A and B are shown apart, each in its own frame.
Chain A
Amino acid sequence: MKRLLCALVLLVACAGCEPHFLANTPIQQERPAVNVPKADRQSNWLGNQREGSCVHASMISLLRWQGRYRTADYWRRTYGNGEWPEHMAATLDREKIRYAHVTNGDVKFLEWACKTRRGAGITVMGGAHMVCLVHLDAKWAGLLDNNRVERIIWVPRETLIAEWKASYGWAVTPIYTPAAPLPQ
């Protein structure tokens, strides 16, 4: 009788148990959040006016990350040389590219761009250069420089924000579908 009682108590105790171990598996966030494959990272090139094309290179890398391969190829064939915000916006409008940009150094834009895994081209070096911001968390920022596309450059968040704000605070990104995260 005692054995039966023990078995019953055990059964009742186990009945409420749910295997939570799967749900509690920690999620490993990908770093950088915008992990553009090496083959899709567009290197900077000299345009026909002997100017660097860092803005276009940044846009092309982001277009590829967001699945717009044909648009990226077209952009590489069609555009080049230096850019400034108004002209770039007009070009993107003319090409009917879905995009967002800021020229006022609003950090919320950078946070949005990385939170939605789209990334953004941001100005650095006093506005003379544009790189891709591919990660931004509470401590660190990840940069993909089109002059050295082999590796991601990690800088403290505050340092990056100070650099960006001192470089006219221009950021621009296409708005399409980012590549799916790695399966967890």
Chain B
Amino acid sequence: MNKLILSVLCAVALCAAVVPCFADTVNGVLAEERVVNLPNDSGKWYISVVGNANDARYNEIVGWFSTNPNLKKLKDQVHFCQVTTDTAIYKERYAGNVKGLPTVRMQKADGRVVYEAAGKNIPMTAAGLNGALANGVYSAEGIRPVLPWRREMERRCPGPGPCPTPQPQPQPQPDPEPQPIDDNGPPNIDEPAVESAVQWAWLPALCVLGFLGGLAGAYGRQLYEKLHPPVK
């Protein structure tokens, strides 16, 4: 009899523990799960490429953000906005504040412009645009130096290579691939590879110069002591 009572009590205790879980499920676990997984990306920066959808230059620049690895990486870290001149968004929000077309504009989450270039002021190559955007990030974040990073980049890509060909898009343009969902804030550009101020090729010459300098110093001191004997 005692065993039976004990079993019933155990079963009741078990149900008491489980039932609230089901109640939660009924009250919208799916919704709760989605709330937890919402991207906390309000601090993300924005990169906008504004231009005419039929303009080859605009399409070329947009294409760079898919073909150039650095720009592709940057694109994945920001809100990337393609704005074409035939949209209401352009006419109402951006037509009055771009200096020309196409325009590339990088903004902080609060709208402050970190980098902007329009028309002929946009760098000629994808690597150039990446460098310009990186400069914008460095300036805004107070990161230095910039030049060695650019030198390093140019060392890696010394000559003129094949330009990425613009990808003509059929009309109407499909919506772009959605960006990854994440909690990123400002873009994280790789730390610049800081080059030594002294080139290694100059090292032997510097050693010789140092040696000669030391010799001259020692000789000069002896000469001084000879000319000015200590007064005793």
Contacts and interface: CB of A to CB of B under 8 A. Distances in A.
Interface in B26-53: 27-28, 30-32, 34-35, 37-42, 46, 48
A116 B88 contact: no
Interface string A144-184: 00000000000000000000000000000001111111111
B34 A100 contact: yes
A51 B89 CA distance: 30
Nearest to B86: A69
Nearest to A177: B79
Interface in A24-52: 27, 29-30, 35, 37-40
A19 to B, nearest CB: 14
A180 B106 CA distance: 9
A184 B105 contact: no
A181 B107 contact: yes
Given A38-B88, A177-B81, A100 B38 contact: yes
Interface stretch (B109-117, B186-194, B202-210): B109-117
B109 to A, nearest CB: 8
Interface string B88-109: 1101110001000000010101
Contacts of A179: 81, 83, 89, 93
B173 interface: yes
Contact of B112 (A27, A64, A176, A177): A27
A20 interface: no
Nearest to A173: B38
B160 interface: no
Interface in A78-132: 89, 98, 100-104, 106, 108-109, 112, 115-117
Chain A interface helix/strand/loop/mixed = loop
B38 A109 contact: yes
B80 interface: yes
A76 interface: no
Contacts of B82: 67
Contacts of A176: 178-179
A182 B93 contact: yes
User: Most chain-B Cβ atoms within 10 A of its Cβ — which of A89, A108, A117?
Assistant: A117
Contact of B48 (A39, A109, A115, A180): A180
A40 B83 CA distance: 14
Given A67-B81, A98-B181, A108 B111 contact: no
B61 to A, nearest CB: 16
Contacts of A116: 39-42
A104 B31 contact: yes
A182 B175 contact: no
A95 to B, nearest CB: 12
A106 B48 CA distance: 32
Interface string A65-76: 101111100000
B42 A177 contact: no
A39 B91 contact: yes
Contacts of A70: 172-175
Given A70-B175, A182-B93, A40 B88 contact: yes
A134 to B, nearest CB: 14
Interface of A: 27, 29-30, 35, 37-40, 64-65, 67-71, 89, 98, 100-104, 106, 108-109, 112, 115-117, 175-184
Given A35-B93, A40-B89, A184-B107, 13 more contacts: A29-B110, A64-B88, A69-B175, A70-B173, A103-B31, A104-B28, A106-B32, A116-B40, A176-B179, A179-B89, A181-B111, A182-B111, A184-B113
5 contacts: A27-B110, A100-B38, A102-B31, A116-B39, A181-B110
